[in-house]
Chains A and B, each alone.
Chain A
Amino acid sequence: MIEPILEAKNVYKRFGGIRAVDGCSIAVRPQTITGLIGPNGAGKSTLFGVISGLYYPDGGEVIFDGHRLTGLPPHDVVRRGLIKTFQIPRELRNLTVLENLLVAAPSTAGERLTDLVVRPFEIRKQLRAAIQKAESILSVVGLRPLRDEYAKNLSGGQKKLLELARALMAEPKMVLLDEPVAGVNPVLAQKILQVIEDLRAKGLTFCLIEHDMDVVMKRCGWIIVMHQGRTLVEGVPDEIRSNPVVIESYLGT
Chain B
Amino acid sequence: MFHEFLILHLASFVIPATILAIFALGLNLQFGNTGVFNAGLAGFVAVGAYTFGMLTTGLVPRSDTYPGHWGPGTPMDLVLAAGAAMVLSGLLGVLVAIPTLRLRADYLAIATIAFAELVRLFLKEERHFTGGDQSLPLIPRPFAGIVPTGLGWASDGIFILVVGSIALGTLLVMTRLSRLPWGRALRAVREDEEAAMALGKNAFRLKLTAFGIGCAIMGLGGALVASFQRVVLPEQFATLLPFNVYVAVILGGSGNSRGVVLGAYLFWLFTWTTQNLKAYIPSDFALRIDFVNLLAIGLLLILFILFRPEGIVPEEKYVPRAEGSPR
Contacts and interface: CB of A to CB of B under 8 A. Distances in A.
Contacts of B65: none
Contact of A54 (B187, B192, B198): B198
A150 B196 CA distance: 16
Interface string B210-225: 0000000000000000
A5 interface: no
B324 interface: yes
Interface stretch (A8-16, A22-30, A86-94): A86-94
Interface in B164-200: 177, 180-182, 184-185, 187-188, 191-192, 194-200
A105 B184 CA distance: 11
B199 A127 contact: no
A86 B195 contact: yes
Interface in A31-67: 52, 54
Contacts of B184: 95, 99, 102-103
A96 B191 contact: no
B318 interface: yes
A150 B325 CA distance: 19
A83 interface: yes
B288 interface: no
A132 B322 CA distance: 11
A113 interface: yes
A92 B195 contact: yes
B117 interface: no
B315 A94 contact: yes
Contacts of B196: 92, 103
Nearest to B188: A103
B194 A54 contact: yes
A74 interface: yes
B106 to A, nearest CB: 21
Contacts, number: 103
Contacts of B284: none
B258 to A, nearest CB: 18
Q: How large is the interface on B (under 10, 10 to 19, 20 to 34, 35 or more residues)?
A: 20 to 34
A228 interface: no
A109 B184 CA distance: 12
A234 interface: no
A92 B192 contact: yes
Interface string A218-252: 00000000000000000000000000000000000
B201 A103 contact: yes
A98 B184 CA distance: 11
Contacts of B325: 128, 131
Contact of B199 (A73, A96, A103): A103
A179 interface: no
Contact of A86 (B187, B198, B209): B198
Given A75-B201, A78-B199, A127 B181 contact: yes
B200 A106 contact: yes
A83 B196 CA distance: 12
Contacts of B185: 103, 111
Nearest to B179: A110
Contact of B198 (A74, A105, A112, A148): A74
Interface of A: 52, 54, 73-75, 78-79, 83-84, 86, 90-96, 98-99, 102-106, 108-113, 116, 123-124, 127-128, 131-132, 135, 148, 150, 166, 170
Interface of B: 177, 180-182, 184-185, 187-188, 191-192, 194-203, 209, 315, 317-320, 323-326
